[in-house]
Amino acid sequence: MPKLTYSDVFIGGELVAADSSEELVLTSPVTEEEIGRVPSASTTDVDRAVAAAKQAFHGEWRGTTLDDRLAIIRRLRDLIVENREELSVAITRQMGCPITQSRAIQTDNTLRAIDAYLDFVPDYPFRTLRRSSTANALVTREPVGVVAAVSPWNMPLAINVQKLLPAVIAGCTMVLKPSPETPVDAFMLAELLVQAGLPAGVFNVVPAERDTSAYLVGHPDVDKVTFTGSPAAGRAIAARCGEDLRRVTLELGGKSAAILLPDADLDQAVEAMRMGSFRNSGQVCSLKTRVLVHRDQHDEVVERMVGLVESMPVGDPIDEATQIGPMVSRRQRDVVEGYIAAGSQEGARLVVGGGRPRGLDRGYFVEPTIFTGATPDMRIVREEIFGPVVSVLAYEDEDEAVAMANNSAYGLNGSVFTADLDHGLAVAGRLQTGTVELNGSGSGYYAPMGGVKTSGLGRENGPEGLDAYLELKSVGLSVAAAERLAGSVDTHTYR
């Protein structure tokens, strides 16, 4: 059983006493009882962590090579494999993700992200020579500096590592502020990084509430901020970073649509919604919570969706059979139940779910829920619910389906289901989203992930995710100097 209580913060490569005596209490979303405690970092703790990161950046870490840094990441991968079950159980106990999904979409996806970076980084253009008849330049990409990372509770390990990988590989240092609901795996990650040989100060962990988080993202010695969370918090962070022209990457959520075209394989499309709409009990920003179907197929799809929901056991997330666990907290359950009530009050038809599961008297459980008859102006269609609630909406023709999908303040993800590949790609090209899944296929960790509109700024994953942690520098060269370098770096020759 993983340790869920830590008495210290992680600064400068070790656990050290926090400045404040305040603590964050961890509550089981299953039993509603206390399961652990960690320090609540103060602004003084943040100052210490940023100072440690800054010292490491300008010290030992600055002298490491790319090979040195990749070797640390390889060792980290091996350690995650060795500790896979303990990490997965820690995630499930903290936030209620079904254990099978904690293994598959939390811990194993973390390994896939590592594998992708280890694969493409050796070919990344850290240094390129650009030659022309008028000038020659060596273009370099150098680490941006100290990174403040603020991560959410829904995919804690995966997102923490998603931010760590490009930062460490680029040569940056990091101060991580994990969510108060899920700080334990951040400490576990820090301990594994020490074992992997990461120098002191490169990675620091300061769990805290919102005020301390705001202090961190505005710290004068932070060079870049990466944040995953709500649009409201993202706007505040962007505004604060804008004041200092601080680099920022934001991944802020979505209200994604799945378009089932008339020629789609309905068995395959509806089954894809098991994970595409309901994984992690509906607490994932890229889930397809609007399912758009042709009017002639509406009733059939609704019937199939009801059957899907009824096939998904709700219960204790540590049980291997469970597919829907609790919401992370009482507050989140209240939010989801508020949206369900609003859907009914605004005139949508509740066809399955909508309440608390029978026999589960404790825990923050909500039944997986399907609405029909919703309209674009309803809150359940416009706003991100972050729970197991899906609306099935009918369209008359393809143009209306695309317009409905794009009628959102968000633009993170979407799906198109069709038997015609070329047609599917054409429809995907019309969707205003950062990612489109064709027939339920994800894009993986070699491709960029991020959104348009209020879904965020910038991209994570793939070479584009590494770009955000590097600064470009151009060094002008004489013809003779360019000739000397031409054989040792990638060279591009222009007119």
In three-state secondary structure terms, 434 is coil
99: domain CATH number is 3.40.605.10
Helix axes 231-244, 210-217, angle to 10 degrees: 30
Say yes or no: 245 and 324 in one domain: no
- Cβ(337)–Cβ(381) under 8 Å? no
Q: What is the DSSP string of 28-39?
A: -TTT-SEEEEEE
Asked about 285 being catalytic, the answer comes back as: yes
Say yes or no: 460 and 427 in one domain: no
Query: Which of 387, 417, 438 is the C-terminal boundary of a domain?
Result: 438
What is the token pair recorded at 469? 């942690």
468 domain-assigned: yes
Residue 251 phi/psi, 5-degree rounding, is -120, 110
Neighbouring-strand partners of residue 256: 288
Q: What is the pLDDT along the chain (495 residues), one digit of tens a residue?
A: 789 999 999 999 999 999 989 999 999 999 999 999 999 999 999 999 999 999 999 999 999 999 999 999 999 999 999 999 999 999 999 999 999 999 999 999 999 999 999 999 999 999 999 999 999 999 999 999 999 999 999 999 999 999 999 999 999 999 999 999 999 999 999 999 999 999 999 999 999 999 999 999 999 999 999 999 999 999 999 999 999 999 999 999 999 999 999 999 999 999 999 999 999 999 999 999 999 999 999 999 999 999 999 999 999 999 999 999 999 999 999 999 999 999 999 999 999 999 999 999 999 999 999 999 999 999 999 999 999 999 999 999 999 999 999 999 999 999 999 999 999 999 999 999 999 999 999 999 999 999 999 999 999 999 999 999 999 999 999 999 999 999 899 999 998
Say yes or no: 208 and 345 in one domain: no
Hey, which bits of 373-461 come out as E strands?
389-395, 414-417, 437-438, 456-457
pLDDT at residue 2, rounded to an integer: 87
Q: Would you tell me how many other CB atoms lie within 10 Å of the CB of residue 295?
A: 12
495 domain-assigned: no
Q: Which residue has the tokens 């091996």?
A: 78
93 domain-assigned: yes
Query: Which residue among the candidates 172, 241, 251, 460 is catalytic per the annotation?
Result: 251
Query: Which residue among the candidates 97, 172, 241, 285 is catalytic per the annotation?
Result: 285
Say yes or no: 376 and 420 in one domain: yes
Spatial distance between the Cα atoms of 82 and 73, rounded to a whole number of angstroms: 14
Q: Which domain holds residue 390?
A: 256-438
Which residues fall within 8 angstroms of residue 434, CB to CB, at 6 or more apart?
Answer: 411, 412, 413, 448, 449, 450, 451, 452, 455, 456, 459
Strands 146-150 and 173-177: parallel
Hey, which bits of 252-334 come out as E strands?
256-260, 288-294
Say yes or no: 222 and 328 in one domain: no
48 domain-assigned: yes
Say yes or no: 383 and 465 in one domain: no
pTM of this prediction?
Answer: 0.96
Say yes or no: 270 and 231 in one domain: no
Say yes or no: 248 and 268 in one domain: no
Say yes or no: 163 and 177 in one domain: yes
Domain count, the chain: 2
- Cβ(251)–Cβ(163) under 8 Å? no
268 domain-assigned: yes
1 domain-assigned: no
12 domain-assigned: yes
376: domain CATH number is 3.40.309.10
pLDDT at residue 206, rounded to an integer: 98
Say yes or no: 426 and 466 in one domain: no
Say yes or no: 220 and 347 in one domain: no
319 domain-assigned: yes
Asked about 97 being catalytic, the answer comes back as: no
Say yes or no: 396 and 322 in one domain: yes
Distances (CA, A) of 388 to 35, 316, 324, 385, 395: 25, 16, 8, 8, 23
